[in-house]
Amino acid sequence: MSLMTGEEYIESIRRLKMEVYMFGRRVEDPVEDPILRPSLNSVRMTYDLAQLAEYEDLMTAVAPETGERINRFTHIHRSAEDLVKKVKMQRLLGQQTAACFQRCVGMDAFNAVYSTSFEVDKKYGTSYHENFKKFMFDVQRRDLTVDGAMTDPKGDRSKAPHEQEDPDLYLRVVERRADGIVVRGAKAHQTGALNSHEVIIMPTIAMKPEDRDYAVSFAVPMNTPGLFMVIGRQSCDTRKLENGDIDVGNAEFGGVEALMVFDDVFVPNERIFLNGETEFAGMLVERFAGYHRQSYGGCKVGVGDVLIGAAAVAADYNGVPRASHIRDKLIEMTHLNETLYCCGIACSAEGHPTEAGSYIIDLLLANVCKQNVTRFPYEIARLAEDIAGGVVVTAPSEADLRDEKIGPYVEKYFKAAPGVSVENRLRILRLIENLCLGTAAVGYRTESLHGAGSPQAQRVMIARQGNLPMKKALAKKIARVAE
């Protein structure tokens, strides 16, 4: 067993030959497509950092079953310390990429399916947990990137899966065979699907017996026949097709989302982790959502570190680093960012073992973490835009800067602090635009709101786990209320 290098990872994705569509055409070579390549580079960083001795403790772990060192993204959390290291690793990667590095969703699916499948087997005598462990060992041995897919298109939100006018609006089993199942449907907003070797499918909501065909979890390779992707459109995405790199803001790294379509895909029995046991659908959803909401206390904080740094540089370049209101805004950005990190660490430190022996975060605190993530990045972004100024959205293009006639005027009228080149000023402004408004909004701003479930989904879980009766009892005891 060995850890893949970043270059080996790139070549392994190239060999997969996935079916990918974008802008109304099939993408023949996603690895080299200029719009898609930055997202692949972000995942590559999870492999490159794992090769460095200084990051070994965060980026890797020792698998207890084999004693081998594996990438932490393929690891099952065995302690609260593991959960804390996960968050620290995610912050590091956010700092290094200023983008979504895409492997978190698969890691969170790994851990949710591991513990849930154990409990399904305990009740029904199924072999889902053993199926998953075999899959897990293969992923660890080959150091694969695994995506996790939970979100269905959902259709009419007022209706259950089996009540939909189009039954395929939730992914479902359409045929059960002696050797496996055939599934049809789609998974939407799939982060990292394009850059993954495998995908774990999970149900998206708690289900009743009538939804048996929709209560399904399994894993398939991303080049499985009948599985294809339609890449989501992002703001400013075609800037990557232009000459130069200034206007992109973050030229090397990025994120990408996809609609993942399953057009009668066959899944062999040994790859199935849930198949009709509806009462466990809600457990799987709750655990995955909890793990993924914990993740945001790391990744968004790392990207926030970059945005705070960019805002501070913009203040320097504008000539106002010592202005009291600028310093106060940077303090507020730091306060908000570190508060998110506190939440990620807290829900990890309060983790506890599941019946399977793996560790799960404190679900209440994980949902509080994500609820804050739906708010604080928006304020951090607002303050960054405030510090940088309106030039973030009105600056001329790199082509204008390079133009023989227009360039000198751009140089003359966009000059600010002494000793700062106009090109460097534009680079920082475009990075801020990228993080707050452009393609990285998927990895920071908008995705902070809807990733890992809507804000209302977290509030539902907070209400469920907040233990209001216990708090009422505390108050009555202190007040000496007798009923």
As a whole number, mean pLDDT of residues 308-316 equals 98
For residue 445, the model assigns a pLDDT of 78
Residue 66 marked as a ligand binder: no
Match 């359409």 to its residue by tokens.
174
As a whole number, mean pLDDT of residues 444-449 equals 82
Catalytic-role residue among 46, 60, 100, 444 = 100
pLDDT of 443 > 70? The answer is no
Cβ neighbours of residue 228 closer than 8 Å, sequence gap 6 or more = 18, 19, 20, 21, 260, 261, 263
In this prediction, residue 440 has a pLDDT band, given cuts at 50, 70 and 90, of low
Domain borders along the chain are 283-471
For residue 454, the model assigns a pLDDT of 87
Q: pLDDT digit string (tens) for 95-154?
A: 999 999 999 999 999 999 999 999 999 999 999 999 999 999 999 999 999 999 999 999
Q: Which CATH class is domain 283-471?
A: mainly alpha
In this prediction, residue 444 has a pLDDT band, given cuts at 50, 70 and 90, of confident
For residue 105, the model assigns a pLDDT of 96
Active site residue 286: no
As a whole number, mean pLDDT of residues 454-469 equals 93
pLDDT of 463 > 80? The answer is yes
Active site residue 257: yes
For residue 51, the model assigns a pLDDT of 97
Alpha carbon distance 225, 304 (integer Å): 39
Match 């009743």 to its residue by tokens.
208
Q: What is the mean pLDDT of the chain?
A: 96
Catalytic-role residue among 19, 257, 385, 398 = 257
Which amino acid is present at 345? I
Q: Do 274 and 128 contact (CB within 8 A), yes or no?
A: yes
What are the angstrom distances between the C-alpha of 141 and each of 52, 146, 228, 393? 19, 13, 26, 47
Catalytic-role residue among 77, 189, 197, 292 = 292
Active site residue 7: no
Q: pLDDT digit string (tens) for 195-247?
A: 999 999 999 999 999 999 999 999 999 999 999 999 999 888 999 999 999 99
Alpha carbon distance 420, 211 (integer Å): 62
Catalytic-role residue among 204, 299, 347, 398 = 299
As a whole number, mean pLDDT of residues 312-317 equals 98
Q: pLDDT digit string (tens) for 167-189?
A: 999 999 999 999 999 999 999 99
Active site residue 197: no
pLDDT of 39 > 60? The answer is yes
Instruction: Provide, rounded to the nearest whole percent, the portion of the chain with pLDDT above 70.
Output: 99
For residue 441, the model assigns a pLDDT of 55
pTM of the model: 0.96
Catalytic-role residue among 47, 104, 197, 374 = 104
Q: pLDDT digit string (tens) for 245-268?
A: 999 999 999 999 999 999 999 999
